[in-house]
Chains A and B, each alone.
Chain A
Amino acid sequence: MTITADVIRSHGLTDEEYQRVLEIMGRQPNLTELGIFSVMWSEHCSYKSSKKWLKTLPTKAPWVICGPGENAGVIDIGDGQAVIFKMESHNHPSFIEPYQGAATGVGGILRDVFTMGARPIANMNALRFGDPSHAKTRHLVAGVVAGIGGYGNCVGVPTVGGETNFHASYNGNILVNAMTVGLADANRIFYSAAAGIGNPVVYVGSKTGRDGIHGATMASAEFSEDSEEKRPTVQVGDPFTEKLLIEACLELMATDCIVAIQDMGAAGLTSSSFEMASKGGLGIEMDLDCVPMREENMTAYEVMLSESQERMLMVLKPGHEDIARAVFEKWELDFAVIGHLTDSGRMVLKRHGQVVADLPIDPLAKASPEYDRPWVAGQRRPVLDPAQVPARDPFEALKILVSCPDLASKRWIWQQYDHMVMNDTVQRPGGDAAVVRIHGTAKALAITTDCTPRYCLADPHEGGRQAVAEAYRNLSAVGARPLAVTDNLNFGNPEKPEIMGQIVEAIQGMGEACRSLDFPVVSGNVSLYNETNGQAILPTPAIGAVGLIDDVAATASMAFKGDGECILVIGETKGWLGASLYLREVLGREEGAPPPVALHREKREGQFIRTMIGDGQVTAVHDLSDGGLLVGMAEMAMASGIGAEIVPASHLPLHAWCFGEDQGRYLVTALASQVPVILETAHRAEVSALVIGITGGADLCLKGIGSIPVEELTRLNEGWLPAFMSHPDTNA
């Protein structure tokens, strides 16, 4: 095929980028070579629009073993153990083919983690769907949830939590962000840098087919009316093979055979081989005839660009091929020596005895474009005066809120995930953070995913800060010391200055919060071009975070534990209604500045909460977020079936006190006898703490105003999603 302007454009390369291809090659590339440039320089693989800003995020702390740049981030949790984790998007494929898109998203993130030597111990997912009334939403929810479950359940890694939002801005671009957390020995972490000239390059796992060719390029472009035609670019997952691959890799990793290992994710054999060679400063020669293939007559172009799943590339120590082969044969997986490392710094590919591609590695991998795209700061919205926001009956508003799509129980979703396999799930889904015991120890990890996209739209900077702060709070609320963050930045088209502005400001906000809270970013993923026909998604910088609990017996959950316990609110309540769910769900308005996050206070309050939990002073803890204080109270009541009576503050309009979304707040319960100690400790820690009520009964009461049965709230909260999903159009 001749390289025409059309061919270049169809590979997603701009004219300037193609000029650089010509300079690097010193000649016209052939089609295979052009394909390789195209995927390596795609937004998905090269981070060319976001790189400049990602570099500003804090990535270091004494407990960080490996920050961004490897397959996943690695942190030290003491006792010779390390936690390896990352969150990654599979947005574009999941919209086109929800079951396989979501399933392979789970498969891909699992590989990122076990390729570094960790046994995956927990999966999470952050999902964003369109308006429930949109014709496709039900079908997408059903497919994505079935896909995540179908994959995760089979591989035997518990899916322990996550979050699900609905908003019309995701009608044409849903978000499927999957996170895996794994456990490894701190002195047995595997990296991807190739080493040792002459060492064998080995392919293991599934055979290569024609599926997923150009997936990375597809994920780097906007959707239009014809996005359905991109279905063939979606990969097909095989969780059974993945399970075998996990066991085989971990078995081989226990020996001393592996020099370097890298999973074949986006851009398949191309990106894995280039990354390994580039990191090691070496060259690779591969004979593509040796690649296990499941289809006939595959060209070099197809072999290099296939995104067939469940495959790994390894560099072995010389002479260790037979040991490794035996392990993979035991697990009935393909094993093939497909090449060796060279000192040429070049990627030389052969097919049918001919050299079919010969490219310099570093210029491709390291000199990928980096753009300083023009950006504009968003218009700041005015701060709403709560007194100017119409009041509704608090119980009518509460009923609307607990049954609105964002706050309704997600039990319908997480009951389709095996959240208990591995027998270490101490807190099941539905709480502030999942709690997973470190197998065989008294320690546990807390895991959460967070982002409030409506805040990010209103003010990306504040929204970025809030996403990080909320993750910090959710970990603290179960008694965990927050350790590190993985970020999954989902935005629209970065070529538009206002979208680029969202990216820049959100990253700046996240960076501020991470620095202030000693909460470094150790891994991440960027998904741009989440637009359809020019309509972008809400800016959604999803945060996944991990914290450590030293004694799994000293953790907290949000359910009320008994009658007659005191309820305290920690943190200040000012009645901030701008960008609140009350405003959106009850009044139908999406306006106002979002609540500001006071980072210095967050840290103090988080420390205070963790101390209270560690000392056994509190019986239940719940972070206050979406919906505000009354919703948080209702969630604690619904989790337990126990009611409460609370006394509203007199200095604020009732609706602002009930539903304001002031940040940095928790609700806790305690025995009356403990309250003086708690108040005293709070005072010394300069943390605001106030007794506002008492647990008990079967109703949630606002003293002097009225009440509602907890059972009614539960029925509303549990009812929405099953009712929505059982609509006859489910399979439309």
Chain B
Amino acid sequence: MQAAVIVFPASNCDRDVAVALHSATGRPPLMVWHRDSEMPKVDLMVVPGGFSYGDYLRCGAMAAHSPIMREIKARAAKGVPLLGICNGFQILTEAGLLPGVLMRNAGLKFICRDVHLRVESAGSLFTRNYAEGSVVRFPIAHAEGNYFADPETLSRVEGEGQVAFRYCTADGTVSAAANPNGSAGNIAGVFNGSRTVLGLMPHPERLADPLLGGIDGRAMFDGLVEALS
């Protein structure tokens, strides 16, 4: 499987996700510069975390208009899987590839810590190696992860099973106390309608190495490799 990691100015989790992908696929992913307008054939596109363009406008708003995004949209439309993590999720919502937006955290502060997530759907390339309803631990590190969508969009997202992960307690309870940033419905990650695009605020690549304290994130990359190889 050949993955590509899209690099924007001030992406800063590009190397982290590349390491996780390399480890899962056995080959280094292509690192694609945002100003490129073309990219070789790849099996998976990943938009990593960071602060593209400093996030000085709205998070992801500038990156969503980078030259490479036209190509990404075209590939995604053809069904090439696309994963957006953290700032990558923000970029994909700004680009209209995923429903909803990410607003400032309800507590107004940047939060870096582990959270628990309930896997809402195992029926996707990204989540096939998780059991539905199981609880996983991923780190978050963001100031704008407060998922919001208008009621109509939200009910569509909920109704059509587009919620991938929800913030929960260690025992799987989805509660306000387990919601780190005020996200609607405790939503931590969403799919597009065909479940070939996933955006999530938590970082699976940060817990994919036992030395760093856990490997709950690895199943996402391993599952992608199994599905796409």
Contact = CB atoms under 8 A, between A and B. Distances in A.
A417 B51 contact: no
B51 A418 contact: no
A295 to B, nearest CB: 19
A420 B19 CA distance: 14
Interface string A424-445: 1110100000000100000000
A415 B113 contact: yes
B151 to A, nearest CB: 31
A704 to B, nearest CB: 36
A597 interface: no
A422 B54 contact: no
B55 A156 contact: no
A552 B50 CA distance: 27
Interface residues of A, number: 32
A514 interface: no
Given A240-B51, A437-B211, A421 B9 contact: no
B211 A156 contact: no
A187 to B, nearest CB: 23
Interface in B179-206: 203, 205-206
A156 B143 CA distance: 14
B211 A553 contact: yes
B53 interface: yes
A154 B144 CA distance: 13
Contacts of A422: 15-16
Contacts of B211: 426, 437, 552-553
A428 B139 CA distance: 12
Given A156-B50, A238-B54, A240-B56, A419 B9 contact: no
A192 B55 CA distance: 33
B103 interface: no
A150 B110 CA distance: 8
A411 to B, nearest CB: 8
A415 B114 CA distance: 10
Interface string A89-114: 00000000000000000000000000
Nearest to B20: A423
B209 interface: yes
A416 B109 CA distance: 7
Interface string B189-229: 00000000000000101100101110000000000000000
Interface in A656-706: none
B124 interface: no
A160 to B, nearest CB: 11
Contact of A418 (B9, B54, B55, B141): B141
A153 interface: yes
B212 A425 contact: yes
Contacts of B16: 421-423
Given A421-B141, A437-B211, A553-B211, A240 B9 contact: yes
A331 interface: yes
Contacts of B20: 423
Contacts of B77: none
A238 B51 CA distance: 12
Contacts of A421: 12-13, 16, 49, 141
A240 B10 contact: yes
A142 to B, nearest CB: 9
B170 interface: no
Secondary structure dominating the interface of B: mixed
Contact of B9 (A146, A332, A423): A332
Contacts of A149: 110
Given A243-B51, A418-B110, A420-B112, A155 B141 contact: no
A239 interface: yes
Given A153-B51, A423-B212, A425-B212, A416 B111 contact: yes
A244 interface: yes
Contacts of A240: 9-10, 51, 53-56
Interface in A232-272: 238-241, 243-244
A420 B54 contact: no
B51 A154 contact: yes
A239 B12 contact: no
A244 B50 contact: no
Contacts of A243: 9-10, 12, 51, 54
Contacts of A425: 212
A422 B212 CA distance: 11
Interface in A435-484: 437
Interface string A130-154: 0000000000000000100110011
A437 B212 CA distance: 10
A401 B53 CA distance: 45
Given A240-B53, A240-B56, A425-B212, A419 B10 contact: no
B169 to A, nearest CB: 16
Given A420-B139, A420-B206, A423-B209, A239 B54 contact: yes
B112 to A, nearest CB: 5
- From A156, A419, A420, name the one whose CB has the most chain B CB atoms within 10 angstroms: A420
Contacts of B212: 420, 423-426
A154 B203 CA distance: 16
B13 A331 contact: no
Contacts of B13: 156, 421
B140 to A, nearest CB: 10
A153 B87 CA distance: 12
Contacts of B205: 423
Given A416-B109, A416-B111, A154 B10 contact: yes
Contacts of B110: 146, 149-150, 153, 416-418
A155 B12 contact: yes
B36 to A, nearest CB: 12
Interface string B53-88: 111100000000000000000000000000000000
B112 A417 contact: yes
Contacts of A424: 212
Nearest to B141: A418
Interface string B25-63: 000000000000000000000000111011110000000
Contacts of A414: 112
A235 to B, nearest CB: 17
Nearest to A426: B211
Interface string B97-120: 000000000000111110000000
Nearest to B56: A240
Nearest to A419: B112
Given A415-B113, A417-B112, 6 more contacts: A153-B143, A154-B12, A155-B12, A156-B50, A418-B112, A423-B205
By Cβ-Cβ distance, the 8 closest A-B pairs, closest first, are A156-B12, A240-B54, A154-B51, A423-B16, A418-B141, A243-B10, A418-B112, A416-B110
Interface of B: 9-10, 12-13, 15-16, 19-20, 49-51, 53-56, 109-113, 139, 141, 143, 203, 205-206, 209, 211-213
16 contacts: A154-B51, A155-B10, A156-B50, A238-B54, A240-B56, A243-B51, A244-B9, A415-B111, A416-B109, A416-B111, A417-B110, A418-B141, A419-B112, A422-B15, A423-B19, A423-B206
